[in-house]
Amino acid sequence: MTDATPPRTASRAPLGKRLLLAAATVAGMLVVAEVILRIAVPEPVSIRFTQDTLELRQLQLDRFGDVLINDPDRFWKLAPGSRLPESGSDAGGPFFGVIANGQGFRENHEIAPRKSDGETRILFLGDSCTFGYGVSWDQAYVAGSEERLNEHSGNRRFECINAGVPGYSLYQGFQVLDDEGPRVKPDVVVACFGFNDRSEWDGMSDLEHAALSPPGWMSGSRLAGRLWSLSHPPSARGTSTRRPRVSPEEFRGLLTRIRTRTRQLGARLALISWCERFQVTDDRDERTPWQLELDRFARRHQVPILDLVPLMQRWADEPGQTSQFLDIVHATPATHSRIAARVVETLGPVLRGGGSQE
């Protein structure tokens, strides 16, 4: 009697190959899901962008909303290369002419990727007051500052970059600095905020809204962003009591972050505290909590600050002085020109390398 031959069993692929095949299958499924989502699901729009465009419609500024685009980090930004009809034609509003160059700055030219020899760059962060609500790009105080700095600069050339965007808070200003700073390589950063920060749009601050967005490494994937949103729903407080877009405490912390980022870029910081019309016409002793935070921060860290409140009060008292404001906060072209002269004075010690910013 012979021994029976044992049945042969099917050979199994090595474990490594099986794991590799499984990983490839999962990766393929994820790619398919990503493609389907990109085709079938519109790109998500931030709540803040929706709120801003709604406010523009309420102010009958719909046409300006057409040159704003959604942004996952800043909520919204100026559409690159955007223009509106010039004032005097069919402009029909306070926004006209050059809105943004190809890089999203309110400039009529592109900012070169590299600074030329002898060039000093000053990056102006701000809201509609810096952008130049109601004035042309070359009437805004940023352009006026550049013109004055270059008048007697000799071989030195100054490039003042207007990165102001209507509706921006200090949180959004920090995002601009963080995104654009490494590309622009500014020598000086000037920040002017505090008006929009106190606006109350809902029960969450800008920083809390930002926390709802997926981290940067996930933002490029529609699938990852969707999964993040499902696992990070808005807080219930978002529909309850209204809160400032940036509280005074958050404002203070963001000033510190801007100062730190500015120093990392090898630049120096200066601040502008904007004046509102009521501080000239109604209550000259009142300061908003955000203006107080700016003043305290500047004194504590020895950062140059241009406080426009006492200046515009004195200008208002000059004989024959006409209104300095177009509305409750935005300046006339003539006032922008005067502000530009004071900006140049304030930046003098900074540009000479004087003063301490420890």
pLDDT band per the 50, 70, 90 thresholds, residue 37: very low
Section 330-337 average pLDDT:
98
Quote the pLDDT of residue 236: 42
Sign of CA dihedral 208, 167, 190, 123: positive
Residue 342 pLDDT greater than 90, yes or no? yes
Q: In angstroms, rounded to a whole number, what is the distance separating the alpha carbons of residues 30 and 1?
A: 59
Place of tokens 């530009």: 340
pLDDT band per the 50, 70, 90 thresholds, residue 8: low
Quote the pLDDT of residue 237: 45
Residue 241 pLDDT greater than 50, yes or no? yes
Quote the pLDDT of residue 86: 86
213 vs 51, higher pLDDT:
51
Cβ(131)–Cβ(167) below 8 Å:
no
Q: In angstroms, rounded to a whole number, what is the distance separating the alpha carbons of residues 59 and 50?
A: 14
Digit-coded pLDDT (tens) for 109-149: 999 999 999 999 999 999 999 999 999 999 999 999 999 99
What percent of the chain has pLDDT above 70?
Answer: 81
Query: What is the phi/psi pair of residue 62, to 5°?
Result: -55, -40
Residue 40 pLDDT greater than 60, yes or no? no
Q: How far is CA 217 from CA 149, 170, 190, 220, in A?
A: 41, 24, 30, 7
Gyration radius from the chain CA atoms = 26
Residue 91 pLDDT greater than 60, yes or no? no
Domains and CATH numbers, the chain: 42-351 (3.40.50.1110)
pLDDT-wise least confident of 71-85, 91-105, 326-340 = 91-105
Pull the structure tokens for residue 56. Answer: 């523009």
Most confident of 8-12, 194-198, 233-237: 194-198
Mean pLDDT estimate for the chain: 87
Quote the pLDDT of residue 21: 75
Q: Pick from 215, 187, 51: which is nearest to 118 by CA?
A: 187
CB atoms inside a 10 Å sphere around CB 236? 8
Quote the pLDDT of residue 6: 58
DSSP SS3 for 288: coil
The model carries a pTM of: 0.84
pLDDT band per the 50, 70, 90 thresholds, residue 235: low
Q: In angstroms, rounded to a whole number, what is the distance separating the alpha carbons of residues 161 and 157?
A: 13
Q: In angstroms, rounded to a whole number, what is the distance separating the alpha carbons of residues 126 and 304?
A: 16
Section 237-251 average pLDDT:
83
What percent of the chain has pLDDT above 90?
Answer: 68
Cβ(205)–Cβ(246) below 8 Å:
yes
Quote the pLDDT of residue 278: 97
Quote the pLDDT of residue 62: 83
Quote the pLDDT of residue 238: 46
Residue 298 pLDDT greater than 60, yes or no? yes
Pull the structure tokens for residue 149. Answer: 């700095």
Section 198-218 average pLDDT:
84
Section 28-48 average pLDDT:
64
Q: How far is CA 11 from CA 8, 25, 71, in A?
A: 9, 22, 54
The DSSP annotation for 96-135 comes to -EE---TTSSS-SSPPPSSPPTTEEEEEEEESHHHHTTTS
Query: What is the phi/psi pair of residue 220, to 5°?
Result: -80, -10
